[in-house]
Amino acid sequence: MGTIPSATKDGRPAAAGDAALRQEIRDLYDEVGDLLDDDRVESLPGYFTDDCLYKVTSRENHDQGLPAGTIYCDGIGMLRDRILAIRETQVYEPRSWRHFISGVRVLAVDGDTIRARANVLLTEAMSDAEPTVFMVGRYLDTLVRRDGRLLFRERLVVCDNHHVRRSLIMPI
């Protein structure tokens, strides 16, 4: 794999030179979205490297370079602990999510490291109410290829919402 610049001369994101790579990333995003929609969050760590970073933050914090995150997991152990806490200690009202992912872009490729981004819209349905838009934002990811498959080394979820209507319990 060659290096793809992160932007063209006029500032637009660079197009992926490899449509197959973009489709592979799109398939990964859809697969992870499906497992979260189907409440199979225990499978999520299998998509991350041991030294991963998973963070959900606001657009304002991201734009200002602030480290605060609504969810912050530095390493696979913290991600597994978060999921264990969700299942064994937290009490919350059951909900159904649907992820709508679009605009998948490959920003750069350098050896086995790929930077990509996508837009995400997440709806939430509670047992006693109509579905609502829960979160709108984007994924900013660093992916690496290990044993023939792509894994997240870093997943940064940047939320455009000014506030979260209900508690943010599950990874997005």
Q: Which fold has domain 19-159?
A: Nuclear Transport Factor 2; Chain: A, (3.10.450)
Where do we find the tokens 């197009």? 15
Alpha-carbon gap, residue 57 to 69, rounded angstroms = 4
Write down the pLDDT at residue 25.
98
Write down the pLDDT at residue 1.
42
Q: What's the predicted TM-score (pTM) here? A: 0.84
Write down the pLDDT at residue 46.
97
Cβ neighbours of residue 90 closer than 8 Å, sequence gap 6 or more? 169
Cβ neighbours of residue 75 closer than 8 Å, sequence gap 6 or more? 50, 51, 52, 53
Where do we find the tokens 């304002």? 60
Q: Where are the domains of the chain?
A: 19-159
Q: Which residues of the chain are modeled with pLDDT < 50?
A: 1-16
Write down the pLDDT at residue 13.
47
Write down the pLDDT at residue 91.
61
Write down the pLDDT at residue 67.
80
| Residue 95, beta-bridge partner list | 126
